[in-house]
Structure 1
Amino acid sequence: MAGMYCTSRGLCVFVVCTAVILSLTGGSDAVVVSTTHGDVSGSEFLTSSVVGNAVFDRVFTFKGIPYAAPPVGDLRWRPPQDPTSWTGVRDVTEFGSRCPQVEFPLSGTIYDAISVRSNSSSEDCLFLNVYTPNVSATANLPVMVWIHGGGWYSGSGASYPAEIPTSLHNVVMVTINYRLAHLGFLPTLDDDAPGNFGLLDTIKALEWVRGNIRNFGGDPDRVTIFGESAGGWSVSLLVMSPMATGLFHRAISQSGVAGFPVREKRDITQTQNLALSLNCSTASYDDMMSCLRGLPSENLLTTVFPSVVTDGRFLLQSPWDLMNHKFINRVDYLLGTNNDEFGYMASQVPYVDADGMTRAEFETNLLENLQLVVEQYLRSSVDTILQPVIDQYLDPDMADDPIYRRDQFLQLLTDAWFAAPTVMMAQAQSGMPAVAWQASSRVYQYELQHRASVFSFRPPYVTGADHGDDFFLMFGIPLLRDDTGNSWKYSFTQEERDLSLDMMAYWVNFAANGDPNDSTGAARMRDMVHWPRYTPSSQSYLKLDVTSSADVKIRESNMKFWNEEVPRLMGKHVHSNRASHGTRETSCSLSVLVFTFVVSYLLA
């Protein structure tokens, strides 16, 4: 499935949440694995005629394992609870239901060729899927837990063909479902969970992984969380959350780091507005929630932009403040963006087209999009930053050119929504000093710059890598064989298949060893361009392309504008991003680290 979500203020973000129907080519007796809630019986996926270049001739799959109780009835808008244990052996050869969601079909040759693998939708949806080349409890393979994108409106773990990278690498992959839209992110007044339910689901899934993954061949002490778009947001928020401390060891954010609207605890304006629209009285909070809990889930699937709540448990401060103060979990982090994240807008909105943008279109739509930017600072007015943004992106000598205005508008949104938050997180994580019991975090940044040939149907002026393009490469879709097993399924070039192999190898190397260049333990070695480590001073990154290369300080002026000038205009005190070994900086970071441990202990 491909999806697009559009906010009420005009921001549209296209999210590729594709799936591939992978036909089993045969199998043998089912494999039974024990979990904390009961035994499960999975199946074998034979790779030889389906995945080109596969290392393993089979992958073991376990689909639709419940990691939490169904969040229905009184458990709607409650923290996830343990699932009910079962006796006997549970069949997990079919995917569980995906969570209720907003569906956004998108046409296009490659999108028409792929489809969703979970046919049903239900609130009983808190399932995960495990893919492994080795079910031995002593295999100790690195574990990668995928958090899907979809704007927190749509998507499911079942939609991602983790069979492909698992058939190529010594890695255990897990994909998960979590609650979406209002069901996952509606603010409440309940002290135990005043929001962030979809994110609490991801923590529950990670707790399941910690307690069970060894029996599936995984190493619970080498868990990497990774995700794209809204999944990348979720990853970054888990890096910021004291509740997630110790549940994972490395993180990968693709096209998404938390830099979006945030609500303070007990602000239930959004909930009250929803209740009124559904004829639920807001006079009594308990009666309002009882009314909402009694409604069918489909009544709750509106496209209001989801927001996180600074609830004092999952999130202690706003994401911007946590990054600014380096108040985050210390983990190795690989993160990056695509160089044309908003290219899809060229075919989705009327004000971006081959003729460019008028000045009025530029300023009107800029206002709508900046409104979401300022809300991450708990501000409501864009007046303070409107002209500075225009000055930053429009050269007076070019400002009358509609093509130039269009291109700058798309670059502006790519920088504000994706690149700048990514750089800020890279600075925060890499700037945390080493301590006696733990080395400093290893950080690696990338920008994908290649638009694959299969996207030739896009407008010719969209030349870069669009939002979601990385997913096709990361999950090895260029390596799929057609039904005969003798030809490629999709018309990627050989260079693009090599890029896909490179990306999967970089990602798995990082998950295994904390360094995308370190292939220790790899099932197959690849000769790849060296990826330099990001530091606060070097700010090195890798330009991922059919011919990749290293560079430094991605769009430095624009990054400083969004990460330093705009926050100051919003009344924020911006901490220096320069590398520092001074006592004050180290003391502050150590104090924050100690506080994190204290909070984590109290919340345990």
Structure 2
Amino acid sequence: MARWHTSSAGLWTCLAFSVVVLILTGGSDAAVVSTTHGDVRGSEFLTSSVVENAVFDRVFTFKGIPYAAPPVGDLRWRPPRDPESWTGVRDVTEFGSICVQSPGAQPPPPYPIHREFAPRTNSTSEDCLSLNVYTPNVSVTANLPVMVWVHGGGMVAGTSSQYPAEIPTSLNNVVMVTINYRLGTLGFLPTRDDDAPGNFGLLDVMKALQWVQANIRNFGGDPDRVTIFGQSGGGWAVSLLVMSPMATGLFHRAISQSGVAGVAITKKGDLTQTETLARGLNCSTDSYDDLMSCLRGKPGEAVSVGTPATAVIGGGFLPESPWDLMYKSRINRVDYLLGTNNDELAYVDDDGLLRPEFQFQLTALILPRISSQYLGGMVNMILQPVIDQYVDPANASDPIYLRDQFVQLGTDAIFAAPTVLMAQAASVKGNDRVYQYEFQRASSVFPGRPSYIKADHSDELFYTFGTPFLLDDTGASWRYSFTQEERDLSLDMMAYWVNFATNGDPNDSSGAARVRNLVTWPRFMTSSQSYLKLDVTSSTDVRLRESNVKFWNEEVPKLLGKEIATGSGEKSTWSFLLVAFSAVVSLLQ
């Protein structure tokens, strides 16, 4: 029987990382820091027996700081509001609650190593809008770059406590912040309210960024060098904030890992999803006010079951669909680093896929995710063209061939193509600091993984969060059997990421805690479309998956009703202007 290596529901977007055994010291000696709502006292993470090669012998941690009022009662499906202030010193040594999410939203881990990365709290609540700060220096004059992590999980699952930001903070000159935000129905239900017709989880992220701007200097951070970064569903969220005029000025750089604009869309004022939910919970749909009052009175667990995240377009947050905003380059001008893994949708079955299985998986899993990002999009509009693009009739009965094509198809459609489109949009915007990557390492810590899979969805997180440097309980040996080359790759990737957050250039190590001899990462420009292939021996290339990316970014949108370049090769007036503008920008560099 066929089995998924990456979950079809969340595509392992919910995969995230935290260290189970941390050596912490707390109490009166821990640092006290002032915030706009009151003073907080955190803990110290001592690195010597936990993280090898750490630059700092301790990291100050502040967990579960509320950045917004509990979104409960009448505040459910409202924009986030300020939290209540407190007197005295608040203890922030424990993580805040996990935001309510559908049961089973996070599937079981496929390998034992993933058990290392479970949430560090079992508490689940709607009162969950908190963040965590990790810093090597609490001086207000430290002025370290700030990296704000938006967790993955398809915006329906996950939590901030899964990610061990202590590790990269101990290895680099950086302040890290991880945040919770409302998920699923509680975070994305469409409403008829003009101030916020949906997108509440994304408004939460903006509220957290406002907290960062107001407070991070007291934790050693520079509010003028804030980078938002996230993976999978968190990468979606990052890209949507880059597109939103409401988020202008809240951050200066962005990193999207394995996810750009992958969320379904709903037009402002369309309450189909809301009314369906209401009827399922025996709420009347005759009156909008009565409908919302009834839904606000239901338990959070009841309203969150089995509903995907939906971005509302046509309001202040997203004026148009993500595809339109990318294609028209109507995005905020920020430095952008973004990329994908080379086997994001790894289908594990040594026997391959029979043709009926291939077509069923295609119509049930892949194409609905694509068509839902276009208003009125239907799977049957693109089914045959997709098959024609990927399936050679001469090999259409070969199960191994179909398996391999399915892996490539899913990776191209859901991950690579939108990432390239976003890179093009950022570059055309006139920004010369855009960097694209493809992570390609087939990690040695996955015994039994088929040889045809290199880097699966979420594999790069081990490296960007420094997992290869964890020590075992004795403090004398490695916890996991990464090779030395893989540990070097982890140091390289953390250096690229922090260099980018520090200087807008992953190659510029100014201000770094340790300098790495890095392969030069070329800028992405619309003319060359250069990118970096991240592996133990990294190298550069151009035009990632060019033919298939062009198919998903041009032919598929056209089939779903978008006006783009003509089939004869002539550009529309708008496309011609974009190319001309890009050429002028390139000449001025």
What range is the shorter-chain TM-score in?
Answer: over 0.9
Contact residue 16 and residue 117 of structure 2 kept, 8 A: no
Match in the other structure for 2:407: 410
Deviation at 1:381, TM superposition (A): 2.0
User: 2:546 is matched with which residue: 535, 542, 556?
Assistant: 556
Deviates more, 1:255-264 or 1:97-106: 97-106
User: 2:357 is matched with which residue: 355, 361, 370?
Assistant: 361
Match in the other structure for 1:388: 385
Q: Deviations over 1:530-551 (max 9, x none)?
A: 1111100110001101111111
Aligned: 1:453 with 2:452:
no
Deviation at 1:477, TM superposition (A): 0.8
Deviation at 1:66, TM superposition (A): 0.4
Deviation at 1:112, TM superposition (A): 2.8
Match in the other structure for 1:180: 183
Q: Deviations over 1:76-114 (max 9, x none)?
A: 000000000111111111111111113424142112344
Rounded to whole Å, the distance in 2 between the matches of 1:278 and 1:583 is 51
Aligned: 1:134 with 2:137:
yes
Partner secondary structure for residue 306 of structure 2: coil
Rounded to whole Å, the distance in 2 between the matches of 1:342 and 1:278 is 35
List gaps (5 residues or longer) in structure 2.
583-589
The 1:441/1:248 distance shift into structure 2, 3 A limit, reads: farther
Deviation at 1:425, TM superposition (A): 0.2
Match in the other structure for 2:266: 263
Match in the other structure for 1:95: 95
Matches within 5 A, 1:7-46: 7=9, 12-24=11-23, 26=25, 29-46=29-46
Aligned length: 569
Rounded to whole Å, the distance in 2 between the matches of 1:401 and 1:393 is 13
Partner secondary structure for residue 453 of structure 1: coil
Rounded to whole Å, the distance in 1 between the matches of 2:390 and 2:6 is 26
Contact residue 171 and residue 508 of structure 1 kept, 8 A: yes
Partner secondary structure for residue 387 of structure 2: helix
Match in the other structure for 1:235: 238
Contact residue 367 and residue 379 of structure 2 kept, 8 A: yes
The 1:83/1:558 distance shift into structure 2, 3 A limit, reads: same
Match in the other structure for 2:305: 302
Contact residue 354 and residue 461 of structure 1 kept, 8 A: no
Contact residue 6 and residue 457 of structure 2 kept, 8 A: no
Name the TM-score, length of structure 2 as normaliser.
0.93
Q: Deviations over 1:484-524 (max 9, x none)?
A: 11011112111111111111110000000011110000011
Match in the other structure for 1:594: none
Partner secondary structure for residue 68 of structure 2: coil
Contact residue 333 and residue 441 of structure 1 kept, 8 A: no
Matches within 5 A, 1:75-114: 75-102=75-102, 103=104, 104-107=106-109, 108-114=111-117
Contact residue 324 and residue 575 of structure 1 kept, 8 A: no
Partner secondary structure for residue 382 of structure 2: helix
Deviation at 1:24, TM superposition (A): 1.9
Rounded to whole Å, the distance in 2 between the matches of 1:101 and 1:89 is 31
Residue type of the alignment partner of 1:453: S
Partner secondary structure for residue 533 of structure 2: strand
The 1:221/1:113 distance shift into structure 2, 3 A limit, reads: closer
Rounded to whole Å, the distance in 2 between the matches of 1:25 and 1:184 is 33
Deviation at 1:585, TM superposition (A): 4.0
Rounded to whole Å, the distance in 1 between the matches of 2:286 and 2:575 is 55
Rounded to whole Å, the distance in 2 between the matches of 1:26 and 1:210 is 28
Rounded to whole Å, the distance in 2 between the matches of 1:38 and 1:309 is 35
Contact residue 18 and residue 116 of structure 2 kept, 8 A: no
Residue type of the alignment partner of 1:474: T
Rounded to whole Å, the distance in 1 between the matches of 2:196 and 2:483 is 48
Deviation at 1:298, TM superposition (A): 1.2
Deviation at 1:562, TM superposition (A): 0.6
Rounded to whole Å, the distance in 2 between the matches of 1:546 and 1:380 is 41
Q: Deviations over 1:194-228 (max 9, x none)?
A: 11010000000000000110111100000000000
Q: Percent same amino acid at aligned positions?
A: 67
Superposed CA RMSD: 2.1
The 1:565/1:581 distance shift into structure 2, 3 A limit, reads: closer
User: 1:516 is matched with which residue: 500, 503, 506?
Assistant: 506
Contact residue 13 and residue 232 of structure 2 kept, 8 A: no
The 1:583/1:5 distance shift into structure 2, 3 A limit, reads: closer
Match in the other structure for 2:585: none
List gaps (5 residues or longer) in structure 1.
347-352, 434-439, 590-604
Deviation at 1:14, TM superposition (A): 4.8
Name the TM-score, length of structure 1 as normaliser.
0.91
Deviation at 1:301, TM superposition (A): 2.5
Contact residue 69 and residue 83 of structure 2 kept, 8 A: yes
Deviation at 1:574, TM superposition (A): 2.2
The 1:80/1:582 distance shift into structure 2, 3 A limit, reads: closer
Rounded to whole Å, the distance in 2 between the matches of 1:259 and 1:94 is 32
Match in the other structure for 2:171: 168
Aligned: 1:546 with 2:549:
no
Deviation at 1:355, TM superposition (A): 1.5
Residue type of the alignment partner of 1:520: S
Rounded to whole Å, the distance in 2 between the matches of 1:17 and 1:288 is 36
Residue type of the alignment partner of 2:380: D
Deviation at 1:575, TM superposition (A): 6.0
Match in the other structure for 1:254: 257
Residue type of the alignment partner of 1:511: A
Partner secondary structure for residue 135 of structure 1: coil
Rounded to whole Å, the distance in 1 between the matches of 2:263 and 2:44 is 41
Deviation at 1:21, TM superposition (A): 2.1
Residue type of the alignment partner of 2:199: N
Rounded to whole Å, the distance in 1 between the matches of 2:541 and 2:432 is 20
Contact residue 250 and residue 333 of structure 1 kept, 8 A: yes
Contact residue 341 and residue 439 of structure 2 kept, 8 A: yes
Rounded to whole Å, the distance in 2 between the matches of 1:581 and 1:509 is 35
Rounded to whole Å, the distance in 2 between the matches of 1:223 and 1:70 is 25
Deviation at 1:372, TM superposition (A): 2.5
Deviation at 1:267, TM superposition (A): 0.9
Match in the other structure for 1:399: 396
Rounded to whole Å, the distance in 2 between the matches of 1:375 and 1:112 is 33
Match in the other structure for 2:455: 465
